[in-house]
Amino acid sequence: MLPKDPNGCPYLQLAPMEGVGDACFRKAMASIGGFDEAVRDFLRVPMHAHVESLSRVYQADELGSIPLAAQIMGSHTEHMAAMAQQLVKRGAPRIDVNCGCPSNTVTGKGAGSSLLKDPSFLYEVAKAVVQAVSIPVTVKMRSGYEDISLFKENLLAAQESGVRYITLHPRTKVDGYGPPARWDLIAEAKALLKIPVVGNGDILTVQNALEVLRITRCDALMIGRGSIINPFLFHQIRAHFAGRTFVPRVEDLLSYLGLYVKSMASDATAKIRVGKLKQLLGFIFKGSEQLLAVRQQILASALGTPEELLDFATPYLLSNSVQRK
Ligand SMILES: Cc1cc2nc3c(=O)[nH]c(=O)nc-3n(C[C@H](O)[C@H](O)[C@H](O)COP(=O)(O)O)c2cc1C
């Protein structure tokens, strides 16, 4: 389920990231590759859900041969189960239950990280999904809601529900993205549970990845923002295990960005597409000291189309070796 590669590199997953990590990003990332699986950002399952139509945005073959797990977020057990069944019909290889989203709109409806307030309810929701489908079901969770007082109970409740593994982003809902991810809690989860644990949170470099593996002994790694800043990170981690150093080529970065621009929905306005590209470039320019110096210039530029913006950014990217941390 979470196999290592022939060189001992753990299973690598691209994290779900609503908004910035949309289909355009995932497709561009798939063109670079290096990861084993991606997880789609959450599909909300509201109280009065028309699961058939809601499930249609999920495309199992979006990334070609790279599996794309579907993630569902809600608190109504029957609708969650029905949504999971729809997603199976659409070819989902795995269903992940979101127990981490910190957004107040979501938690106000008892979903996402709200499930962490009540381990027995988390159990009910996860179990309803497990029982509804025959494909693997997993849970992605934070370490708690306000604090970590129910951390162990939540882990055990998830395990008891029959999920295949747990992905842990070791921050509470209240933490948001503020304090550093507590990798020691991934180690605690690993020591407590019989099912595998996927470690996630603040993996920005190969060194970070090795450190998480060393501290936690987790079974796989999930990377989100680190892959936006450095889309080659998965390859660099994999290369490390093969005893090599992966040196990214600027041409690959440019074709990644070109594909991103091409994939942006043609029905979005040019202004929105420029905004999206700025957001992505903002992350990439953060990843290199040389590029950081001109980041503001790129973000402040007033270009009308994403193609123009990419042309404007290209000389900066070419004059930089894309030497990533
Ligand atoms: C913009 C953004 C959107 C996110 N959307 C989701 C989501 O849809 N589902 C989910 O489980 N986690 C979501 N997350 C959390 C990430 O998957 C991940 O757990 C978190 O960012 C920590 O990992 P990282 O430090 O590698 O980014 C999101 C994170 C960000 C920054």
Q: Inform me whether the pLDDT recorded for 322 exceeds 70.
A: no
Topology annotation, domain 11-241: TIM Barrel (3.20.20)
Mean pLDDT of all residues in 176-198: 97
One-letter amino acid of 25: F
- 321 pLDDT band, cuts 50/70/90, is low
Ligand 1, residue 15: give the atom nearest the CA. 17
Residue nearest to atom 5 of ligand 1 (CA): 17
Mutate to test the pocket of ligand 1, among 18, 183, 221 (most ligand atoms within 8 A of CB): 18
**Rounded CA separation 84/127 (Å):** 12
pLDDT tens track for 232-272: 999 999 999 999 999 999 999 999 999 999 999 777 899 99
Q: Inform me whether the pLDDT recorded for 149 exceeds 60.
A: yes
Residue 139 in tokens: 């849970």
Say whether 24 is catalytic.
no
User: What stretches of 207-323 adopt beta strand conformation (E)?
Assistant: 220-223
- What average pLDDT does the structure give for the chain? 95
pLDDT tens track for 127-136: 999 999 999 9
Q: Inform me whether the pLDDT recorded for 324 exceeds 60.
A: no
Q: Does ligand 1 have an atom closer than 6 angstroms to the CB of 270?
A: no
Q: Does ligand 1 have an atom closer than 6 angstroms to the CB of 66?
A: no
Catalytic site residue from 9, 24, 99, 101: 101
For residue 10, the CA-to-ligand 1 centroid distance in Å is 20
Residue nearest to atom 22 of ligand 1 (CA): 201
- CA triplet 263, 31, 279: central angle to 5 degrees? 50
Q: Does ligand 1 have an atom closer than 6 angstroms to the CB of 139?
A: no
The predicted structure's pLDDT at residue 307? 95
Ligand 1, residue 96: give the atom nearest the CA. 11
Element (H, E) at 180: none
For residue 43, the CA-to-ligand 1 centroid distance in Å is 14
- Helix, strand, coil shares of the chain, percent, nearest 5, are 50, 15, 40
The answer to which of 42-46, 206-210, 225-229, 264-268 has the lowest mean pLDDT is 264-268
Q: Does ligand 1 have an atom closer than 6 angstroms to the CB of 208?
A: no
Q: Where are the domains of the chain?
A: 11-241, 250-318
**Rounded CA separation 188/304 (Å):** 50
Residue nearest to atom 15 of ligand 1 (CA): 17
Q: Inform me whether the pLDDT recorded for 49 exceeds 80.
A: no
The predicted structure's pLDDT at residue 325? 47
**Hunting for tokens 């269903």 — which residue is that?**
95
The three state secondary structure string of 183-220 is HHHHHHHHHHCCCCEEEECCCCCHHHHHHHHHHHCCCE
The predicted structure's pLDDT at residue 267? 78
Q: Does ligand 1 have an atom closer than 6 angstroms to the CB of 41?
A: yes
Residue 153 burial (C-beta neighbours within 10 Å; 0-12, 13-18, 19+): middle
Q: Does ligand 1 have an atom closer than 6 angstroms to the CB of 223?
A: yes
pLDDT tens track for 269-318: 999 999 999 999 999 998 888 888 889 999 999 999 999 999 999 999 98
One-letter amino acid of 51: V
- Quickly list DSSP for 42-98: PEEE-TT--HHHHGGG--TTTTTTS-EEEEEEES-HHHHHHHHHHHHHTT-S-EEEE
35 within 8 A of 13, measured Cβ to Cβ: yes
State the pTM of this model.
0.96
**Rounded CA separation 201/83 (Å):** 28
For residue 41, the CA-to-ligand 1 centroid distance in Å is 8
More confident position, 28 or 265 = 28
- 56 pLDDT band, cuts 50/70/90, is very high
Residue nearest to atom 23 of ligand 1 (CA): 201
Query: Which residues does residue 139 pair with via DSSP β-bridges, in sequence order?
Result: 97, 166
Q: Inform me whether the pLDDT recorded for 121 exceeds 60.
A: yes
Q: Does ligand 1 have an atom closer than 6 angstroms to the CB of 203?
A: yes
The b-or-e profile of 87-117 (16+ CB within 10 A means b, else e) is bbebebebbbbbbbbbeeebbebbbbbbbbb
Q: Of 268, 240, 263, which Cα lies nearest the Cα of 310? A: 263
Q: Does ligand 1 have an atom closer than 6 angstroms to the CB of 102?
A: no
**Rounded CA separation 82/131 (Å):** 11
The predicted structure's pLDDT at residue 47? 85
Ligand 1, residue 227: give the atom nearest the CA. 26
**Rounded CA separation 97/37 (Å):** 16
Q: Does ligand 1 have an atom closer than 6 angstroms to the CB of 42?
A: yes
Q: How far is CA 122 from CA 4, 95, 125, 154, in A?
A: 30, 15, 5, 7
